[in-house]
Amino acid sequence: MGQFILFLVLMTLGYLFGHYAEKKHYKSINKREKELLKLPVISCKNPIGNDTVAHVKLSYGSVVISVDYFKRILASLYNFFGGNIRSYETLLDRARREAILRLKESTTDADQIINLRIETSSIYKGNGNSIGSVEVLAYGTAIYFEKNEPT
């Protein structure tokens, strides 16, 4: 009985705080993505445009995000019945967008970031084999064009 109450409490806490945290995070992601729109990130090896490159720098951004208790239980139910696990989709979406934002924020004075690579790894496994938290690393080469050399 005690265990069941604990389970219920954890479910409610997870739902309330997790829902709030996700909403807040999406809001901040959307806001920062708009601000950093002027810095393009591409996954090609050559920069767009014919300007001469003056300087390059390797840059990266990473984030570790955890899923809440409620969603983990939900995901294990989905695991039983099959279908898209929406709760993990939003987790990975948030983590990837946050990692790219941090990559951009680390070099705001660059003109372009080329050859973007994204790497995902789950660093913490919970009970059984369920994903506890994922780490996403985004890295690329920041390009500075000649007319806009950093001081």
Partner 1 sequence: MLMSNIEIIPNKTIVTGFGVVSGSTVRAKHAGRDLMAGLKNIFGGELKGYTELLEESREEAIKRMISQAEQMGANAIVNVRFSTSSVAAGAAEIYVYGTAVTVE
Q: Write the CB contacts of 63 (distance below 8 Å, at least 6 apart in sequence).
A: 95, 98, 99, 102, 135, 136
C-beta of 37 vs 148, nearer to partner 1 = 148
Tokens 């479910």 label which residue? 11
C-beta of 16 vs 77, nearer to partner 1 = 16
Residues 70-99, mask of contacts with partner 1 (x by CB under 8 A): -x--------------------------x-
**Roughly how many angstroms between the first and final C-alpha of the chain, as a whole number?**
66
C-beta of 100 vs 143, nearer to partner 1 = 143
Which tokens sit at 8?
């219920």
Residues 124-143, mask of contacts with partner 1 (x by CB under 8 A): xxx-----xx-x-x-xxx-x
Q: How far is the CB of 73 from partner 1 (least distance, A)?
A: 11
Bridge partners of 120, per DSSP, are 136
User: Is 25 a binder of partner 1 (CB under 8 A)?
Assistant: yes
Q: Give dist(CA 95, CA 46) in Å, integer.
A: 26
Which tokens sit at 147?
């007319």
Q: Give dist(CA 142, CA 82) in Å, integer.
A: 42
**Which of these, 113, 139, 117, 116, lies nearest to 48 by C-alpha position?**
113
Q: How far is the CB of 66 from partner 1 (least distance, A)?
A: 5
Q: Which residues bind partner 1 (CB under 8 A)?
A: 10, 13-14, 17-18, 21-22, 25, 45, 47, 52-54, 56-58, 60, 62-69, 71, 98, 114-115, 117, 119, 121-126, 132-133, 135, 137, 139-141, 143
